[in-house]
Amino acid sequence: MFPVFYSDEFLDHKTGKYHPESPERLTAIINALKQAAFAEKIRWIEPTPVLDNSSVMPLLVKVHSPGYINKVREIATTGGGYLDGDTPISPRSYDVALLAVSAWLNGMDAVLESANPAFVLARPPGHHAESDAGMGFCLFSNAAIAAYYALEQPGINRVAIVDWDVHHGNGTQAIVETNSQIAYCSLHQYPCYPGTGRATERGFHSNVLNLPVPPGSDISVYQPLWEKKVIPFLASFQADLLIVSAGYDGNAEDPLASVNLQPNDYGLFTHYCLGITSKILFGLEGGYDLDTLSQSVLATVSSCLV
């Protein structure tokens, strides 16, 4: 059975009627997975409530400044507002964001226990969230938090993060690039929001690989990058497990970027990752065209079931 971590509470992070990072993103994915030919092979798992997950707050404070955490909580508890022009907070957003962190930690536990992949379908996303600032629809840095959590587990000494979201994960990189036990690799459109992710950014321990691609890039651009850059980078790092910031906004139909991938291409990306290790935690980041978003998640999950 393939574990998928999800809660209806993730729909309670309200972003406004016309915001692209909407609850409908998750609804579309859930409906597609439940109607898929492999639906019976999916095990749906509710994340552990935050009050019952003793790891959430210590890791949150390790990755984010107390002042920033308090700011998110205060905006939510006083009725909501904005972190920046793109990043709304609704009354339940703080609690939902904490539950998202819990879900990513649960997913990591599942991967470590089974040595097989798992998927976290949570929102809000996280890869743009820096230690003391949220931005780009993101509140807490889920992938980075999961990486630090993994390093606390027995036998885990090195963790790699692959970010295939079309936007560079500036928050994830900033948080992990000083840690020699974590590698970060991002394939992203450039120039594009947030303007970071140049190829010259290599981390403090040569543990960062940024692969910017120009607008209009399709699988003919991505495939050689995976085969000649990403896979050798991951293989040489020899990580004990892999975290994938699984954004699906590189699809040709996506409204927030200009890359021309197709949903099945994410199945190929998944295949490449599985060639490195079966210990993979996938976590949802971007993807804003509901149809191609759903079909891309199906391609990822089905590749894990082969």
Q: Specify the CATH number for the domain of residue 134.
A: 3.40.800.20
149-160 confidence digits (pLDDT tens): 999 999 999 999
Q: Please give the mean pLDDT across all residues of the chain.
A: 98
The residue annotated as part of the active site, out of 128, 167, 168, 188, is 128
Tell whether the model's pLDDT for residue 225 goes beyond 90: yes
**Backbone φ, ψ for residue 43 (5° rounding):** -110, 110
pTM (two decimals):
0.98
Is 127 catalytic? The answer is no
**Backbone φ, ψ for residue 220 (5° rounding):** -65, -25
Contacts of 263 by beta carbon, 8 Å cutoff, 6+ apart? 248, 251, 292, 295, 296, 298, 299
Domain count, the chain: 1
Backbone angle region of 113, left / alpha / beta, with phi > 0 → left and psi within -120 to 50 → alpha: alpha
Please give the residue range of the domain that contains residue 157: 2-305
| Sole residue written with tokens 């807490």 | 140
Quote the pLDDT of residue 306. 81
157-197 confidence digits (pLDDT tens): 999 999 999 999 999 999 999 999 999 999 999 999 999 99
